[in-house]
Amino acid sequence: MDFEDHRVSFSFVKNYSGLTEVLMDHKLAALGDAFINFAYSLALSEKKRQPSGAKVRGTVLARAVRKAGLREYMPSRVSRHMMADAAEALIVYAWLKKYVTLQDCVATLREAKDLMEGLAELLSTIKEKITF
């Protein structure tokens, strides 16, 4: 079954009151870690024209959070690790709630000049589309 074609709803997704709540959800970040690594691996595979696996570094995600203007939605004292978790949580939340597709994520990362720029663009797009 292709989840995106059938628009499956996931019962474990909470109803969040706002962006800050999504960004700070550590359990959602754990799923987001796997999702963003998968999306990036697909984008890299497309670029290289061969299967590739890769992990997205937390420092790159943290820089993308700042560039996308998401830092202001987080508490005043957060580490780079927490910012990386926030990016992962938001990206997978957007996919789970159908604000973006896996194909959107892969295309954005594939076409960007570098990974940080692609992630920042993806996060900015999500921030514009998301509603609570």
Q: Domains in the chain, start-ordered, CATH in brackets?
A: 15-129 (1.10.1520.20)
Let me know: does 26 contact 85? Beta carbons within 8 Å.
yes
- The count of residues in the chain is 132
pLDDT (tens digit per residue) in 23-81: 999 999 999 999 999 999 999 999 999 999 999 999 999 999 999 999 999 999 999 99
Residues in CB range of 36: below 8 A, 6 or more apart: 56, 61, 87, 88, 91, 92, 105, 119
Let me know: does 109 contact 122? Beta carbons within 8 Å.
yes
Q: Considering only CA atoms, which of 76, 45, 81 is closest in space to residue 61? A: 81
pLDDT (tens digit per residue) in 91-129: 999 999 999 999 999 999 999 999 999 999 999 999 999
- Report field, pTM of the whole predicted structure over 0.75: yes
Which pLDDT score is estimated for 132? 86
Percentage of residues in the chain having pLDDT higher than 70: 94
